[in-house]
Chain A
Amino acid sequence: MASSTPSIFRRIEALPIIIVFILLLALFMYLAPEVFLRPFIYTTFISTLPPLIFLALGLTFVIGAGEIDLCFPAIIAFSGFTFAILFKQYDLGWIAVIATLLAGSVIGFLNGVLVAKVGLPSFIATLATQFFWAGMATVLSGGKSYALRGVEKSSVYSVLVGTPFAKPGSYDWISQLSIQGLWTVLAVIFLWFILNRHRFGEHTLFIGDSNAVSRVVGIDVDWEKIKIFTLMGLLSALAALFLTLENKNFFGNQGEGYLLTAIASVLIGGTSIFGGRATIIGTVFGCFIIGMIEAGLVATGLTGAWVRTIEGIVFLVSIIFYFLIDEPQRRAAFFARIGMVRGFGRKRTAG
């Protein structure tokens, strides 16, 4: 029987990962003070991290429901292409934005149908659709990239990724604050409430916990799964918009680098790969950590090749950490195995 006062790790959402984030930040401040003690790296984060955060937010729901989505890099490619061609060649402005979001949502919806109605495992279904939609994007774009020259004069650009405090001739950090940061914060707050306070979020976690239980308590499991994948598609399309506008360029494989980093961010944040437990705050800090490692290692003088290696270590350590925190019986077994047994059990003597 557990004690009536839950541990501090349970009371404050995602506390372990916040501590890890602060420690890493302190480490980088120590190793590369000329970068991490000045504001520009943080203003850069505000304009480069949003796509990763949007993807990871969607994945928090998908993984929380015990499913996986490998298709989102292709959704970025296809919906990014939709935006580039409608915006550049047909000059459709906001209509192009709406079409982009629709394209992403439709692809997500189809993924949901394959998983929920056809009954394919989500790993297989989204692996297949990821090939299909990435292929479609390449075929339709002819493999070309689309440079969006002059896009910064459009209202789409200034509303979505503009710098509202910019003054001509001024290069201080305030003028570089990107409005993407605001949209990202709003999305995080909104989706936090959806996951933790809305019926849909509760259903997501129950489905992740057990499909059978969810069915008998009256949750429409199939339909909720379709909604989850549709949400993922919509958020991927948003990521594609921010990415394409920020780079002022569309290219077919712009989403590929996000596949593993987005999944890693969610899991580092403390969402369970087995479903049933998910945390939005953890996911956001997971994204910060991934983003910070990429920028920080380069700033401390290590080559880019080290980035993935260190990411791998952080990923592994955090997964083991959650494993031991959340499952006391495994923790006990682990400490028993390395010989730190208290009370009952045979005590191994050294040598």
Chain B
Amino acid sequence: MAGSSDLAASREETPFEHAIRLEHVEKFFGPIQALRDITLSIGKNEIVGLIGDNGAGKSTLIKVMTGVLAPSSGRIFVRDKEIDLADYSVRMAHDLSIETVYQDKSLADQQPLWRNFFVGRQITNRFGFIDVKREKEVAAEMLLTSIGFRGVGITVDSTVSQLSGGERQGIAIGRAMHYNADVIVLDEPTVALAVKEVRKVLDFIRRIKASGRACVYIEHNLAHVHEVADRLIVLDRGTVVAEIEPKDMTVADLTEYLIQLQQHTA
């Protein structure tokens, strides 16, 4: 923990323009090219929607961004500083304040909430033993303040399997906010959620913006992403084909545009 808080301290002193910037990033899986010459940037306090059809490379792109996959070539800048891609990993992304919330694999179902909050960066003594009491205290506070669970029978000892889909996304986003992320990456957080739950998640996303952070938001549902994003990046077959400001285009126009895109390239 000491290492990452040092990093956090040095971070606040240096101002930056872009939270993340990618230059000419390419990714191959064997002979298949998943990403072609991707150049894009995410502003400091900007919600960027990432849209495109299935297989357009959205998930691969965020996996490269968050250290899960190494790019085949290209450069990645975090807060305007270049990352050494040989060292880039999920843990390093965490240290650089990049957090990811996946639609269904951010939390482990059978484990209690407090373990889910801290897994991967536990509060431990120097022998690696976990300070359970402290972790539970912090988790309980997080549950109340950043996520807003109140008196619904959910405690830090509840397992994730006891939560609804929306609550899970809330926990995952709350965890990301707690770790003071500069960038929160959301991978289809509203898939398979009831309407009311979707509203909750969209509120969480607005809260990310309000707290001065950046957010990359992958979404299939154009209405949802249009509602909250400052800028939309359209991917098709592994490459960026357009950047759109939602205020310039209605949801209907946007839908029409994407259908046109499919027909042109098909």
Contacts and interface: CB of A to CB of B under 8 A. Distances in A.
Interface stretch (A39-47, A146-154, A201-209): A201-209
Given A1-B152, A210-B108, A216-B100, A199 B68 contact: no
A198 B105 contact: no
B29 interface: no
Interface string B151-163: 0111101100010
Nearest to A209: B108
Given A197-B130, A198-B130, A202-B115, A276 B108 contact: yes
A4 B154 CA distance: 6
Interface string A249-283: 00000000000000000000000100011000000
A210 B109 CA distance: 8
Contacts of A200: 128
Contact of A197 (B109, B121, B129): B129
A288 B106 CA distance: 38
B contact face: mostly helix, strand, loop, or mixed: loop
| Best-surrounded residue of A2, A209, A276, A277 (most CB of chain B within 10 A) | A209
A218 B89 CA distance: 8
Given A216-B68, A216-B102, A216-B106, A4 B129 contact: no
A206 to B, nearest CB: 5
A304 to B, nearest CB: 39
Contacts of B105: 210, 212-213, 216
Given A4-B153, A4-B155, A197-B132, A213 B106 contact: yes
B110 A202 contact: no
A147 to B, nearest CB: 42
A218 to B, nearest CB: 4
A206 B108 CA distance: 6
B91 interface: yes
A215 B68 contact: yes
A270 to B, nearest CB: 13
Contact of B119 (A6, A219, A277): A219
Q: Which 7 A-B pairs have the closest CB atoms?
A: A218-B120, A209-B108, A276-B110, A217-B120, A218-B90, A212-B105, A218-B91
